[in-house]
Amino acid sequence: MTVNLVGWWGRGYEQSIYLLSNPAGKYLICRYYHRRALIETLFSDQKSRGFHIHKSHLSDPERISKLLVATCLDYIWMIMQGLWVVANGRVGWIDRTDRQDKSIFRLGLDWLRHC
Tens digit of each residue's pLDDT (9 = 90 or more) over 54-67: 899 999 999 999 99
Gyration radius of the chain over CA positions: 19
Q: How far is CA 80 from the centre of its chain?
A: 15
C-alpha–C-alpha distance, residues 23 and 4, integer Å: 7
Over residues 73-88, the pLDDT tens digits come to: 999 999 999 999 999 9
What is the share, in percent, of the chain residues with pLDDT greater than 70? 97
HSE toward the beta carbon, residue 10, CA cutoff 13 A? 10
Paired residues of 21 in beta bridges: 4
Is 6 within 8 Å of 32 (Cβ atoms)? no
Instruction: State pTM to two decimals.
Output: 0.68
